[in-house]
Structure 1
């Protein structure tokens, strides 16, 4: 019986390994589960695979509630190649991204209140096109403004398991990445599930287009 159990577990680990290697994007438990036998202890399998790869050239990492293989951090410099030059984020985009990350879910008005200046349509468009910010829902307040939050792609790009791994704001300001005018009331968030809060409603069909139209009119 123990040999049979071992064989089944090894097959599950191999399937899990193959799925993660083949995927170009991090996978959630819900995406992986259909490929494994009923009753498979997926969290335990992932942890076992993570330990197995912990000292190898690629590591199994968690990004929010998703998992992926990524180059080991100490070897990333070996794989850098000449890349197409991309326009760096503006100060406005960096500050907007930071406010959303640390204060999400945030409305555009809340972002502007923290920054003390208006947020242009192009800034939010740029962050959404990069896949780092998404429209989450609508706040249950007059006007029902759209709320914004970060994505798993944001975590993956910046090498974070969860929002609790974000650096302190003082570190970002000291590195010159954020303006010193941003208030100290911004706090490092607890790991964020992405679920809607009690003061939010889900986006209805067509809401995303309406929200984009609202930005266009500003």
Structure 2
């Protein structure tokens, strides 16, 4: 442990002795290596640990993306961080060779997908409130499955009588559907006002976010919903 700590203390972040061009190239390599090694999107604060104080991560990312322009993968901004993902046009080749992107993905039924989308728009939302949107009770099994996949988690207690649990989406939801933040979801009210969306269209599955075809290098499932959140009501 002491040797590891000493090594970290000797890690040169600023690289002040290097010429500017070499320093920039080293920072690019460090950042890309950290992102490549991570199974999840890597945030700005994490990447800032391996570059100098005056380094612009946005400019650095732009240069890395420029270098990857002809490669089959890219750096995408998703779930509040950056992640390596293969480009859409290679999705069929990946599925043909490995099967990735088909049965091994976190498959959702249409009903589960619609519930997940509804939680994304109206979170924090209780199971009873979800039932009111769909006109029928949403089963605990549906909520539990979405939790086990890491797409939703228990939110704050509702002020309604009995203080039932609410549900919210997770960073894994953003990552899976290629959103950087929840602001990337289409504005629900504007879609309604423009006549592009209605409850009937939602229930018919006409506003489903689809997989982009981009495959992250790896994915690590989040923790399940705690048991108490499934047993609300």
TM-score, normalising length: structure 1 = 0.71
CA distance in 2, matches of 1:29, 1:114: 37
Residue 28 of structure 2 is matched in structure 1 by: 13
Structure 2: gaps (5+ residues):
1-15, 210-224
- Name which one, 1 or 2, has greater alpha-carbon Rg: 2
Q: Answer yes or no: is the 8 Å Cα contact 1:95–1:115 preserved in 2.
A: no
Pair 1:150-2:169 in alignment? yes
Pair 1:133-2:152 in alignment? yes
CA distance in 2, matches of 1:88, 1:209: 22
Pair 1:116-2:131 in alignment? no
Q: How many residues align?
A: 188
Residue 203 of structure 2 is matched in structure 1 by: 179
Q: Answer yes or no: is the 8 Å Cα contact 1:66–1:152 preserved in 2.
A: no
CA distance in 2, matches of 1:27, 1:75: 23
Alpha carbons of structure 1 residues 155 and 143: separation in structure 2 relative to 1, 3 Å:
same
CA distance in 2, matches of 1:42, 1:68: 14
CA RMSD of superposed structures (Å): 3.3
TM-score, normalising length: structure 2 = 0.67
Query: Higher relative contact order by CA 8 Å / sep ≥ 6: 1 or 2?
Result: 2
CA distance in 2, matches of 1:39, 1:136: 38
- How far is the alpha carbon of 1:165 from its aligned partner? 4.2
